[in-house]
Amino acid sequence: MFIDFPLRLVEPTFDDDLVTSIVELEGLRRQLRGSTSPFVFFDLKRIYQLMDSLASSRIEGNRTTIADLVDSHIDGVPENADGDPVKEILNIDRAAAYVEESIKAGDEITHTLVKEMHAIIVDGLAPPSEGGEGDPTPGAYRKGDVEIARSDHTPPTHPAVTGYLDELLGFINDHGEVKYQLLRIALAHHRFAWIHPFTNGNGRVVRMLTYAMLIQQGFNVAQGRTINPSAVLFSDRDRYYDALAEGDKGTDDGLLKWCSYMLGGLQFEMDKIARLLDYEYLSKTILIPAVKDCADRGFLDKVEEKILLLAVRQNVVQAKDIAKLMPKVHPTTVSRRIKKLRDRNLLVGLGQHITKYRLFYFKNDLTRSVIRKLQSEGFFTGLDENEE
């Protein structure tokens, strides 16, 4: 049934665990730095984002495997893949890129942004009437009433949608006191899901909207501080729906329970980002083992393995560094080795320095091994640890 209640800030008591999450997240927003080179971090962030997109689709029931997703992302999606579950995930990934390009700290979030996120997310997908996860009216608010699967909540009638969204966007863009900004993000997430403004795709859009709000509030993507919350929310699908249901009651207690769930999850995910920014941990635990795994799986020969391990340890390599690994060969052989690794997208030129190279971790044979190692260290919450 429909239970109306005012959109408002709720305030936790001093001894509430929610306060601890807010304090920790505020500290990370201001101070999250590390020893990992930006180019390494953002390669891993792209991998992390891809897994978050998978997690977001899993909430909706998509069962695409990690292997199928990675293969499609590396090899490309066939032109006839409309309606394919893989395309649904790649749409979410595209929407995240759109958000990163469109929003910076302090910007307003608008109806246009929300509608465009929806249009990207459902692009090319078959509508639910045909068994797909698309929407017959991409980028447009619903013109009919809807029900929510697995929920006792009935969303507002369709004539009221725009008014409720006007109110919500005002709430989002009214930054107010810093101490309330994270609460505002959590409450806005719930309110959007409560309004359910689109015919389909609302869950994917609200998780992307939350990403936009994190950037808006200063979790700066340019400095690696922003995470997509999909992994947080997928860590326990039933808990996610149960927490939303608590908020649907409209009571202060119910809304605080929702906020505690969401911000506690964000704190957990931000701690993972801090680990990725520690290069000593990252290289020893993830990157070096990933190169060795890639070699063990037959994707690298012994010389290539040595070159890539050197690139991990030094961050940047030149032909003279690689030549030391092959002291008895002619320089042209070294050049061929470098060209082969560049052709496979494993080494890339560093900026304008065509003689300096760095190891690339995304969209190549190494990507699979990096994902395996990140997964074994618990970075991809909610995905089967044995799934490849």
CATH 1.10.10.10 fits 279-376, yes or no: yes
pLDDT of residue 79: 43
Q: Are 106 and 216 in contact (CB under 8 A)?
A: yes
pLDDT of residue 80: 41
Grade residue 338 by pLDDT with cuts at 50, 70 and 90: very high
How much is the average pLDDT of 29-51? 80
How much is the average pLDDT of 92-110? 92
Q: What is the dihedral of CA 184, 189, 194, 200, to 10 degrees?
A: 150
End-to-end CA distance of the chain: 42
Pinpoint the residues of the chain covered by CATH 1.10.10.10.
279-376
Q: Show the tokens assigned to 361.
A: 């971790």
Q: Is 70 exceeded by the pLDDT of residue 240? A: yes
> What letter does residue 128 receive in the DSSP assignment?
G
Cα angle value 350/30/351 (rounded, 5°): 5
Q: Rounded to whole angstroms, how far apart are CA atoms 316 and 51?
A: 27
Q: Show the tokens assigned to 265.
A: 């999850």
More confidently predicted of 218 and 306: 306
* Residue 143: alpha-carbon gap to chain centroid: 30
Grade residue 381 by pLDDT with cuts at 50, 70 and 90: low
Q: Which long-range contacts (CB under 8 A, 24 or more apart) does 314-318 make?
A: 315/37, 315/40, 315/358, 316/350, 316/356, 316/357, 316/358, 317/347, 317/356, 317/357, 317/358, 318/355, 318/356, 318/357
CATH code: domain 17-276 is: 1.10.3290.10
More confidently predicted of 265 and 121: 121
pTM of the model: 0.83
More confidently predicted of 266 and 111: 111
Grade residue 225 by pLDDT with cuts at 50, 70 and 90: very low
Strand-pair category, 347-350 with 317-318 = unpaired
Pinpoint the residues of the chain covered by CATH 1.10.3290.10.
17-276
Q: Rounded to whole angstroms, how far apart are CA atoms 286 and 264?
A: 25
Q: Rounded to whole angstroms, how far apart are CA atoms 36 and 375?
A: 19
Give the full edge-to-edge strand order of the sheet including 347-350: 317-318, 353-359, 347-350
Q: Rounded to whole angstroms, how far apart are CA atoms 161 and 157?
A: 7
Q: Rounded to whole angstroms, how far apart are CA atoms 293 and 288?
A: 9
Grade residue 330 by pLDDT with cuts at 50, 70 and 90: very high
How much is the average pLDDT of 310-320? 95
